[in-house]
Structure 1
Amino acid sequence: MSNNSNNGTSPVQEFEYKAEMKQLLDLIVHSLYTHPEIYLRELISNASDALSKVRFNALTDQEMLDKEVDLAIRITIDPKEMTFVIEDSGVGMTEEELIANLGTVAKSGTLGFMQSLKEQQKQLDGNLIGQFGVGFYSVFMVTEEVTVETRSSHPGSQGFRWRSGGQGTYTIEKIDKAERGTKISFKFKEESKEFAEEYRVEQIVKKYSNFVDFPIYLGEKQLNSITALWQRSKNELKDEEVNEFYKFIANDYQDPLDYLPVSVEGMVTFKALLFLPKEAPPEMLYRQGELENHGPQLYVKKVLIQNECRDLLPEYLRFIAGVVDTEDLSLNVSREVVQSSPVMAKIRQILTGKILGWFESLAKEQPEKFKTFYKAFGPIIKIGLNTDFTNREKLIELLRFESTKTVDGEYVTLKEYSERMGADQKEIYYHSGTSKGQLLAHPNLEYFQEMGIEVLLLSDPVDVFVIPSIHEYDKKPLKSIEKADIDFSKKNKETPEPIAENLLSPVLQLFRETLGEGVEDVIESHRLVNSPVTLVSGKDGLDSQMEKMMKMMRSDMPAGKRILEVNTAHPIIRNLAGLISADPSNPLIVTAMKQLYEGALFLEGGLDSTTGFLSRMNELIEAATLSR
């Protein structure tokens, strides 16, 4: 930092951007953005935030500067001079806030994220810029130098001027500024002069900022239509207007999948307009705690109180965007009061019921739309089964599954499965794995396929934690097909006869001796049709997919022992029985048994090392190709 004189008045302080800030500015201006028009959206968004803060502060701060000043955003342009000014009467900034807000990277990880995008040669969608706290800097796409003049709303505050060319430095100096708020001014680059035209400014405001909660003026003309859509009745809402409102509040570029107006009067009174996005951001599905800080906007008497109010909905529903407006809270409500308020608890309870009812209606009346919703948010909804016990039964009815009887892209409910079960079937069967294709190829499914028994195919990682907790549906137990205590007494007549008992015992015994402590037991299988062996869980053991997920969370977790089931009607097992009869010490027998066991491990992703497996495979191929 250095000091320069300013014609004998206040000193100008020069600051140097930190290295990562220089890199970030360079990336924003030269590498990543293809829509320079979003600079205006970001400046308006910042001005709107400043106005929201000052309106909120005015509820409790009687000493606030310029308490009676109108809350508005004013834009001035000069097409000939190519100049632009945007001014708000918001909360303003102190010198420290100027440095914090305009001199440093706003969010940790932002630079790394943008750098990786550049390396992948991807361009940032304009909708991402605001999410990473770098919206203000988008102005350097259209200008060489920016001046910011600001004064905080705190009593006795001082005015400051911040100026930068977006290169290596910025300056700050004290100025005389009569009113609170922030004024940003600059001259457009030649290639950006279109933005100094009135029609272009109006077009951008209507596109991105039509629902900003404060009037936006260009000269004397108001450009936006401030309207509290959530205060209107359902038949007054137009889809086009509602869709644009959603894009504005959710920072989404797509229309919502669906929306729900809510109006409640009684023990509590509130209105809401809720939206179902078309897609779930990947981080929402797979990043721990991502949903925790999400939620609809909370308004009290049309005044924004919280932008992301997580107390309005349970965590598993916080992907819902929208606005909730009540008159039953005081305007100066604090975060702590919101959390503990019985009013909020009641609103949350009612909203949860309304939203689950909304999902049920979509499932019945618009099944294709519901399918789109479930594909995007099904994994999140399932989390509610283990957290929202009040609505557990409703959530169970919303569940959808692939099964051995569904075609690709179609699903079955537990109700549908239960209704089409055979008269002799007493249990609902499921099979867990990584994909439908992998599950359908698994030996453990062979008996069920042969007998025409439907099995639910669970390939969502969340399923292994959620579905076993249901225990039963319609008085029918849910059971993993891996469990060794399933009754396999019925089989088709065409099934080959198993080997004789006197040959079976030596085969099983030698398997046990060969595999030793690696397995819990080796038993005759009644579930296998086409495969020689398979691994199953013991009666009290974890199913293999559950164990795999647990090991991912706890790397030191010991692997559980499995039961090896042997198909005594399979030609390989018959051949082994013959070899044992002829010479039990034949080394080929042990090699084949180890290979069969490790092949079963390999199939379910539990084979830690393939070296021995490949070596034995070569040994067996050599024996099979030996010239007689």
Structure 2
Amino acid sequence: MTVEAHEETFTFQAEVAQILDLMAHSLYSNKEIFLRELISNASDAIDRLRFERFSRPELADDGERLRIRVAFDKDAGTITIEDNGIGMSRAEVIENIGTIARSGTAEFLRALKDDKRADTELIGQFGVGFYSAFVVADRVVLTTRRAGLPAEEGVRWSSEGRGEYTLETVERPERGTTIVLHLREGEQELLNEHRLRSIIQRYSDHISLPIVMPSEGQGDADDPPTVNKASALWTRPKSELTEQDYRDYYRHISGDFTDPIAHLHAKVEGRYEYTMLLFVPSRAPYDLYAQQPRHGVRLHVQRVFILEDTGQLMPSYLRFVRGIIDSADLPLNVSREMLQGSRALDHIRSSAVKKVLRLLKDLARKEPEKYAEFWGEFGAVLKEGIAEDYDNRAEIAELLRFTSTHSPTQDADVSFRDYVGRMKEGQDKIYYLLAPTLAAATASPHLEAFRKKGIEVLLLGELIDNWVVTGLLQEFDGKRLQSVAQGVPDFGDLEDEAEKEAAEKASADFAALLGKLKEALDGRAYDVRVTSRLTTSPACIVANEADTDFALAQRLRGSGLPNQPVLEINPTHPLVERLNRRQDDPRLADWAHVLYNQAVLTLGARIDDPASFVTRLNDLLVALTEAEQTEQAEQAERAGGTEQAGEAGQPGDTERTPQSAQSEQAGDAG
């Protein structure tokens, strides 16, 4: 059947137009990557065909050899990349090339602006690899037909990368995609067999599909030679593989051009047989915290790609791991639904998780500097495992790192194991402080007594830390975790008898003031009490014994968590001493609210009514200023009276009376 050509012109999505302009005019640091990206896309298309064959009988294996073909034509000035994979329909061409449905393009532009690394290293990571064709070509023609569609529903896409592209319906007997690059002036050195072979072997040798390329003069030979090794890297013996092989494969599956920080390659035999090749990246992918981040582990069955992981192969807290798991036991027609109750997959997942955690533990022990880099990128994600993975909670706890008061600059993260090893004699708890920022934590009054006693405190500033220490992880190595901002301070054997007696005396001496402050703060503070945890600040806020940590309650305001805290006052602070001496002060209630709100602010939390707080504080300052002015006026008046009396007693003014003489004698005696 002859297809009537019908050509339409479309405008690129705005961000795609920006990408194309960058490709054509700015990205020149490594032009060779265009071939790597297009071959990688072709490999993915063939993998998708293999997967769809299991659910669509009409796509059953027709015996055709799956392969990627690269060719060049010196006379025409073109390079062709062709695959016999899944292909695309007209709608898919528009969606995948004319527009970008996901955030990859925007993220790429942002990263390219902010990142100082070589520009072309970013292309694969953000899924914009197709556009790299315009680094070397001033016109690109893509012809494709989706498997399962009739020959007359082929699609031809073409563009010169200047904001528009054309689409026309064509007849294409074979499924798959052919991309023809019309090289721009100055790129003819790529039209060379040796040059193209070297690029393929450098960047795509690890691809398990055969990449064939006719020799010069061979034309469209039926059986062109294979350029790459064309074998699944994970199936090859580790003794045959180099570190460079692993790095190249990681870059292929991740799109990340940096080297992984660690990898594991294991073949497991026994009840279930499977191979895993997993990588820990050295930097976080852009979508690590996206609502639906992509999981980077792919499932293969007998070397055939089956599906991308959605959390069944690797738990969410290890979503940064990249790699493959190849099972010999699962059926080739396995579906996501079948995987839900698969004992084989449960076993594989459990084994993979334990091996990754063991890999991280070894990295932390043997290469702490590398582990510190890993922690900076993925630490917050790994902490999610405390909530998500009860079975491995102890192993994950060993891997956690925190800032603490042990380091003067708080720039060195410490583990629970480090902390326990430095605990003071008589200390039986691991102390921590939750705060919204590190600055708020380091300046917190809750640390004053702990600093004075030389007790180390972990400073926790990430939201996930709230969940880690407020119920999910209650102890480590037999030592209970204790917030320094919760409950009555208990220093145990670290507090001597004199300190205990002083605390008891203060409670008695300030009992009346405590009652009045508590009355003034009714409905806001659960209780008011004196404390030994403060040394320089007048007051602080702590959580009631049975309540959630106040910092957490403030940050989750509206969640229904109890947040009536306790106000603790420092009996040695001059302001608190003054309030105790002048309990008849008519503005005592205002002082109570100011102390309370100041304590809330130093906690890093928000106060309920900032305007009232400012008004109270200003009124108290004005009152103190007026009182000081009145006192100064009275002193001046007294000084003036004394001066007048002195002048009256000067020689020659008046006669001295017996009474004045007596007064002088009394003054001298005083």
Query: Common fold, TM-score beyond 0.5?
Result: yes
Q: 1:213 to 1:532 in 2, by over 3 A?
A: same
Q: Tell me which residue corresponds to 1:529.
A: 535
Q: Tell me which residue corresponds to 1:43.
A: 38
Q: Tell me which residue corresponds to 2:233.
A: 229
Query: How far apart, in 2, do the equivalents of 1:307 and 1:288 lie?
Result: 17
Q: How does 1:38-437 map to 2 (within 5 A)?
A: 38-57=33-52, 64=59, 67-102=62-97, 104-109=98-103, 125-126=119-120, 128-130=122-124, 134-154=128-148, 157-158=151-152, 160-165=154-159, 166=161, 167-175=163-171, 177-198=172-193, 200-220=195-215, 222-281=226-285, 283-284=287-288, 286-290=289-293, 293-308=294-309, 310-406=311-407, 408-437=410-439
**Equivalent residue pairs, number:** 607
Query: How far apart, in 1, do the equivalents of 2:616 and 2:254 lie?
Result: 58
CA contact (8 A) 2:80 2:180 kept: yes
Unaligned runs of 5+ in 2: 216-224, 633-670
Larger radius of gyration between Structure 1 and Structure 2 = 2
Deviation at 1:199, TM superposition (A): 5.1
Which AA in structure 2 matches 1:72? R
Deviation at 1:39, TM superposition (A): 3.4
CA contact (8 A) 1:443 1:531 kept: yes
Q: Tell me which residue corresponds to 2:526.
A: 520
Which AA in structure 1 matches 2:278? L
Asked if 1:447 is matched to 2:458, the reply is: no
Which AA in structure 1 matches 2:474? H
Q: 1:89 to 1:563 in 2, by over 3 A?
A: same
Query: How far apart, in 1, do the equivalents of 2:290 and 2:450 lie?
Result: 36
Higher mean alpha-carbon deviation, 421-430 vs 464-473, is at: 421-430
Query: How far apart, in 1, do the equivalents of 2:438 and 2:55 lie?
Result: 58
Q: Tell me which residue corresponds to 1:5.
A: none
Q: 1:121 to 1:439 in 2, by over 3 A?
A: closer
Q: 1:416 to 1:262 in 2, by over 3 A?
A: same
Deviation at 1:204, TM superposition (A): 4.0
Secondary structure at 2:463 match in 1: coil
Deviation at 1:150, TM superposition (A): 3.0
Q: 1:123 to 1:550 in 2, by over 3 A?
A: same
Q: 1:16 to 1:113 in 2, by over 3 A?
A: farther
Query: How far apart, in 2, do the equivalents of 1:254 and 1:39 lie?
Result: 17
Deviation at 1:31, TM superposition (A): 4.0
Higher mean alpha-carbon deviation, 205-214 vs 445-454, is at: 205-214
CA contact (8 A) 1:488 1:526 kept: no
Q: Tell me which residue corresponds to 2:644.
A: none
Q: 1:269 to 1:506 in 2, by over 3 A?
A: same
Secondary structure at 1:448 match in 2: helix
Secondary structure at 1:329 match in 2: coil
Q: Tell me which residue corresponds to 2:657.
A: none
Query: How far apart, in 2, do the equivalents of 1:63 and 1:586 lie?
Result: 89
1:538 counterpart (537, 544, 557): 544
Unaligned runs of 5+ in 1: 1-7
Deviation at 1:260, TM superposition (A): 1.0
CA contact (8 A) 2:124 2:256 kept: no
Deviation at 1:564, TM superposition (A): 0.8
CA offset digits 1:293-340 (Å, max 9, x no partner) = 414122222222224363222222221111212211222222222332
Q: 1:192 to 1:25 in 2, by over 3 A?
A: farther
Query: How far apart, in 1, do the equivalents of 2:265 and 2:139 lie?
Result: 45
Q: Tell me which residue corresponds to 2:570.
A: 567
Query: How far apart, in 1, do the equivalents of 2:364 and 2:194 lie?
Result: 44
Q: How does 1:576-591 map to 2 (within 5 A)?
A: 576-580=579-583, 584-587=584-587, 589-591=588-590
Q: 1:100 to 1:595 in 2, by over 3 A?
A: closer
Query: How far apart, in 1, do the equivalents of 2:126 and 2:362 lie?
Result: 36
CA contact (8 A) 1:34 1:123 kept: no
CA contact (8 A) 2:594 2:613 kept: yes
Query: How far apart, in 1, do the equivalents of 2:416 and 2:112 lie?
Result: 46
Query: How far apart, in 2, do the equivalents of 1:381 and 1:186 lie?
Result: 44
Q: TM-score, normalised by structure 1?
A: 0.86
Identical positions, percent: 33
What's the Cα RMSD here?
3.4
Higher mean alpha-carbon deviation, 222-231 vs 536-545, is at: 222-231
